[in-house]
Amino acid sequence: MSSVNVLLPQQATILDITEETPDIKTLRVVGKDGLPFDFMPGQCAMLSIPPLGEAIFSITSSPTCRECLEFSIKDVGKVSGALHSVVPGQQIGIRGPYGNGFPVDEMKGKDLLFIGGGIGLAPLRSLISYCFDHREDYGHIDIVYGARSPADLIRKGEVKESWAEEPDTDVHLTVDAEFPDWDGNVGFVPTYVEELGFKPENKIAITCGPPIMIKFVLQALDKLKFSPDQVITTLEMRMKCGVGKCGRCNLGPVYVCKDGPVFTLEELNALPAEY
């Protein structure tokens, strides 16, 4: 009997690399025979570059994309730094998929409000593409996306052009301060969300971004009368195994890598606030 060690990575190859912002790159990755594994939007994968080790990243592409996996990665640490210096054709290790992913079935028939900040668009992007590829399943789509500056917005072309062109879809961009040649909104994401005055009826809000942004977005949504079960967010914790054993991402009875990273605000409120 050949058994499978869940910690063992498989080989994957870098197809190409896009420089999104000064510190964010998008890697397109393919397994030995096409996609290394099937997955759902919101799930993550463990990428490894020996001898620096492994780190977990959310998958940016949609499962409807069958050519490759995409990862938008910010250079913040050892492994992410190394992933910034890979070249096309280079092989890395990959294992996954990990986590629960977004509840795409429960979201069916609802209007969707995506609220992203900076690199926080990475996991949302997977879901947004998925929804566009299953357009008839979902209602009106609003996308609020912001960053510190226009240069820090990722996937600018896609966001501004293709997404905005989708039927029944509105894209709202914002940056933290005035910049030359920026004709969009200026202001923090949470404030902008409040200003846009979204109605909670039959709507689900999905938010991801830096912790401080999430904190204020949640307050804004509360003011707009969204109930906790209408708000979905993803958590970020340090992880080593991805399968709910190594203990780092343990929060109350859940392991974020296995039972998350996607939680409704209602679920989150029941957990110890250690994230």
Partner 1 sequence: MKKVIAREKLPELWKSLSAQGPLFLPVQEGPVVLFQQWQEGAKINLEATNTAVPPKDLFLPREETYMQYRCKGKELEVIPAEEVKPAVLFGVHPCDLSAVELLDKVYIEQDPADELYKIRRENTTVVALSCTEPDPFCFCNDFAINPADAPGADVVAHLKNGSLLLEAGTDKGKTLLKQAEDLLEDGSGQSFEPGEVKTADFGLKLEGLPENLKNRFDDSAWDELYKSCLGCGVCTYVCPTCYCFDVEDFGHEAGGERFRCWDSCMYGHFTEMAGGHNPRPGRKERIRQRFMHKLQYYPETFGQIACVGCGRCLRSCPVNLDIVQAIQTFGGETVEQC
Per CB under 8 A, residues contacting partner 1 are 3-11, 48, 50-55, 76-80, 87, 89-93, 211, 236-238, 240-241, 243-248, 250, 252-253, 272, 274-275
Nearest alpha-carbon partner for 163 in 177, 151, 178, 173: 173
In degrees and rounded to multiples of 5, residue 41 shows phi and psi of -55, 140
* Nearer CB in complex with partner 1: 34/253: 253
Please answer whether residues 168 and 139 qualify as being in contact, where contact means their C-beta atoms are separated by less than 8 angstroms: yes
* Nearer CB in complex with partner 1: 45/107: 45
* Distance in Å, CB of 96 to partner 1, minimum: 12
**Chain centroid to CA 21:** 16
* Nearer CB in complex with partner 1: 54/111: 54
* Nearer CB in complex with partner 1: 165/274: 274
* Distance in Å, CB of 231 to partner 1, minimum: 20
* Distance in Å, CB of 75 to partner 1, minimum: 9
Please report the beta strands in the chain, taking only residues with DSSP state E, as ranges in sequence order.
10-21, 24-31, 44-49, 53-58, 69-74, 91-98, 111-117, 141-147, 169-175, 185-186, 203-208, 231-234, 250-251, 254-255, 262-264
* Distance in Å, CB of 248 to partner 1, minimum: 6
* Distance in Å, CB of 246 to partner 1, minimum: 5
* Nearer CB in complex with partner 1: 169/250: 250
